[in-house]
Structure 1
Amino acid sequence: MIAPTRQHIFPQTIEPLTGVRFFLAVGVVFFHYQLFWVLPVEAAPLLNRARLGVDIFFILSGFILTHVYLTGDRPPSYWRFISARFARVYPAHFIILMGVLALILGANLVGVQIDHANFSTFDFVTSLFLVHAWFPTQHMANWNGPSWSLSAEWFVYLYFPVFAWIGLRWRERPLWLIGLAFGLFAGFDVAYQALFGSILTEAQENLGILLVVPEFIYGIGLYFLGQKINLNRLQASIFALGMTLLLLTAMHFHTDDRLVVAIAGPFMLSLGLLAKSGQRSFLSHKWMQFGGEASFALYLVHMPILMVWRNVIQKWFELEKTYRMGLPEVAILLTLTLIAAGLIHIWLEQPSRLWLRGLFRQKPAPMKLPDTAPLGDSKG
């Protein structure tokens, strides 16, 4: 017999889910690096699929925001939620976007030729307001390509009352939430293929909001499902190890993207249950926790650094634009990028977040939801 949800709460800080964020971000970094290094694509099939780490981030976001905001009888005030999310995500985005703008404006001064057609004013404005993944497009916005996922997340944040109502309404029926997520994903996938000729996991900036919606709901459903499951430390360890191996194997052997996304859900759940069982792992180490916290800065800054690095090396050594990076060069570039991300996180991201939260702090107003009671009771 399944005990009431309240008896199966997760710990306040789900450390494995923080630690794994570092590896997901590094995976995306290596995915972009392998487009420019000397090894052939088939030499690292796992890294070639690491771009799906963004999909896992979307699932994780639904899971964690449910943990932070939807475990009580009522959701938080909308102002409390949206101001906290803005303070969390916008400072790093704004700082790095302004840095890219400065680089583009100053490129000609140091003799670096920039194709300004790839850095249009329109793309800058849509990136600034985080709406560049909301509309159909025929090209990637080059101001900072990875920020498309932040734009998609921002859409979810703005409409969080809708997701909160769905989650609280079906919290005692998490399989319904997961079924809804799968149904929406399948429907959006069929429509996306009909409109653009590619599967939904390739949406990215081109209507990327269609990708984040079902994956975010998937994370909500997985959280409420996890509240109904109790595993001991051994069971949780076996589950987490098994799901990790399954996910990595699926990525390595070029399993369909959509199946990889489906497998990513139980993988994230297994890490949550690992924390719930009290079993600690290397993901709980203080350096993994710091890496997870700084992963957002790493994710946003790695492409501008890559762009600058390649332009400088190309000019310095008089190479072709198509030159391929050797592995020692990749190691140096990664080291510099990790250091830059850590410094941005400590010196810019954290202080600006605290400042904005203090600025926005005021008496919260209740979030307005449809007049219906949730089916059950129950860090961002």
Structure 2
Amino acid sequence: MNDKAYFKSLDGLRGLAAIAVALFHWLLSFSGYLAVDFFLVLSGFILAHRYLYTDRPVSAWKFSVSRIARLYPMHLFGLFSYLIVYTVIVNDIPRYRDGTFFTFLQQLTLTHNIGLNRQSLTWNAPSWSISVEFWLNIVFFCFIRRHTSSLVLLLMSVTGLTVIHNLSGTLDTTHQNYFQVVNSGLLRGWSAFVLGILAYRAWRLLRGISWPPILALGVEGLLCVLLWVIFFKLNGNWRSAEIFAPFAFTAIVVVFALEQGLLAWLLRKLQWLGTISYSIYLNHLVLIMLIDSIMGHLGYSRQLLTLLYLPLLLAYSSMTYRWVEVPGKQLIRHLGKRMEQLASSASHLPEKPNTALSSAADK
């Protein structure tokens, strides 16, 4: 098993998915929120690759530090960016029905979308999925093993998506609680995440097969058409069919991870977009607020302002990737390693003799 394999085509897809979410919140003209389900399928695939099928053992501490280092710095930056920009624009701090301090504390602890605040999304709203992502990662590490049945994983996904379909009728559900106890965002996230694990297992079975170039291109082309249908045609009476989108994303991840067709080769050229995709995802709402406050009164259409919005978003996200994500990740990993070393040193310290008892014994 080559656990150093890198999926550049999937990086390109991740970048395009981040752009889809950013354009969805900007234009609200297509089902861009479904890109979040793609992110979660992709997360299951990547974590299965890095942790489930690696021959290098990973401790719970190292796994947790790794996930915090990946998710927390940019999440924290996005949170405070939102606070600052909102306060400047509105001349007041954000206020929520569940409590400003309580929801802010949830954001700091990544517990803002596990069912505790049931009224609304809070603060930097797209970060709801970051809360879901973190806790699903912990559940994955604790309970999913190589020998976990693929049928069990599939049944968990089908069951979760069926519940969402019956109770919400759409995948556009985040903070709501089902039966007062099951958070719909967590259920939605887990249903997609476990499909990512299945996608990785399928990739392992297919990776040794060489496809004729025309066949690979044909399959990739059909999947792109399917993506177009999912994002632009599943509306009105067809909207409930989007419940099948995570299964389509699973097939897309498998095929493009194989990197055998022309479209996969082209996606490799967008790897840089995937590199900054996390910053794109957490930056775009703040940028929308700024553009609306500065230029909203000028009367330009959103479609026209897209020519300003996207380049600014890409440039800003490139900077936050370099100056926030990378150093933040390095700092947390360094602190985690240092704490592990201190704990290890403390556990190997020789026991200090009881001098009072020693003196009494000498006498």
Q: Scaled by the length of structure 1, what TM-score is found?
A: 0.77
Q: Does 1:202 align with 2:172?
A: yes
Alignment of 1:339-354 (within 5 A): 339-354=315-330
Tell me which amino acid in the other structure corresponds to 1:34. L
**Match among 137, 140, 150 for residue 157 of structure 1:** 137
User: Residue 195 of structure 2 contacts residue 247 of structure 2 at CA under 8 Å; is this kept in 1?
Assistant: no
Deviations 1:59-96 (A, max 9, x none): 00000111111223565211111111111110001011
Tell me which amino acid in the other structure corresponds to 2:255. S
User: What secondary structure, in the 3-state scheme, does the structure 2 residue paired with 1:72 have?
Assistant: coil
Q: CA deviation at 1:137?
A: 4.6
Q: What's 2:254 paired with?
A: 269
**Match among 122, 126, 137 for residue 102 of structure 2:** 122
User: What secondary structure, in the 3-state scheme, does the structure 2 residue paired with 1:296 have?
Assistant: helix
Tell me which amino acid in the other structure corresponds to 1:14. F
Q: What's 1:378 paired with?
A: none
1:10 and 1:284, CA in 2 relative to 1: closer, same or farther beyond 3 A?
farther
Q: CA deviation at 1:312?
A: 2.8
1:50 and 1:18, CA in 2 relative to 1: closer, same or farther beyond 3 A?
same
Tell me which amino acid in the other structure corresponds to 1:240. E
Q: CA deviation at 1:258?
A: 1.1
User: What secondary structure, in the 3-state scheme, does the structure 1 residue paired with 2:191 have?
Assistant: helix
Size of the aligned set, in residue pairs, is 325
Give the Cα–Cα distance (whole angstroms) in 2 for the partners of residues 200 and 76 of structure 1: 37
**Match among 221, 231, 253 for residue 209 of structure 2:** 231
Q: Unaligned 5+ residue runs, structure 1?
A: 1-5, 36-40, 42-47, 171-175, 366-380
Give the Cα–Cα distance (whole angstroms) in 1 for the partners of residues 264 and 251 of structure 2: 19
Give the Cα–Cα distance (whole angstroms) in 1 for the partners of residues 88 and 332 of structure 2: 30
Q: CA deviation at 1:349?
A: 1.0
Q: Which has the higher contact order (CA 8 A, sep 6+)?
A: 1
Alignment of 1:362-377 (within 5 A): none
1:94 and 1:113, CA in 2 relative to 1: closer, same or farther beyond 3 A?
closer
Alignment of 1:281-360 (within 5 A): 281-285=265-269, 288-314=270-296, 317=297, 325-360=301-336
Give the Cα–Cα distance (whole angstroms) in 1 for the partners of residues 21 and 85 of structure 2: 23
Deviations 1:282-301 (A, max 9, x none): 2112xx11110100000001
Q: What's 1:375 paired with?
A: none
User: Residue 114 of structure 2 contacts residue 132 of structure 2 at CA under 8 Å; is this kept in 1?
Assistant: yes
Deviations 1:162-205 (A, max 9, x none): 3432xx114xxxxx52x4344223333444466xx413622223
Tell me which amino acid in the other structure corresponds to 1:204. T
Q: What's 2:41 paired with?
A: 59
Tell me which amino acid in the other structure corresponds to 1:162. C
Q: What's 1:211 paired with?
A: 188
User: What secondary structure, in the 3-state scheme, does the structure 2 residue paired with 1:202 have?
Assistant: coil
Bigger Rg, which one: 2
Q: CA deviation at 1:246?
A: 2.2
1:331 and 1:261, CA in 2 relative to 1: closer, same or farther beyond 3 A?
same
State, as a whole percentage, how many aligned pairs show the same letter. Answer: 25
Give the Cα–Cα distance (whole angstroms) in 1 for the partners of residues 263 and 57 of structure 2: 30
Q: 210-219 or 131-140: which moved more?
A: 131-140
**Match among 184, 191, 196 for residue 156 of structure 2:** 184
User: Residue 21 of structure 1 contacts residue 295 of structure 1 at CA under 8 Å; is this kept in 2?
Assistant: yes
Q: What's 1:169 paired with?
A: 147
Q: What's 1:100 paired with?
A: 82
Q: CA deviation at 1:140?
A: 2.9
User: Residue 62 of structure 1 contacts residue 220 of structure 1 at CA under 8 Å; is this kept in 2?
Assistant: yes
Tell me which amino acid in the other structure corresponds to 1:65. L
Q: CA deviation at 1:147?
A: 0.3
Q: Does 1:72 align with 2:65?
A: no
Give the Cα–Cα distance (whole angstroms) in 1 for the partners of residues 128 and 265 of structure 2: 32
Q: Does 1:88 align with 2:88?
A: no
Give the Cα–Cα distance (whole angstroms) in 1 for the partners of residues 94 and 8 of structure 2: 43
User: Residue 17 of structure 1 contacts residue 268 of structure 1 at CA under 8 Å; is this kept in 2?
Assistant: yes
User: Residue 66 of structure 2 contacts residue 333 of structure 2 at CA under 8 Å; is this kept in 1?
Assistant: yes
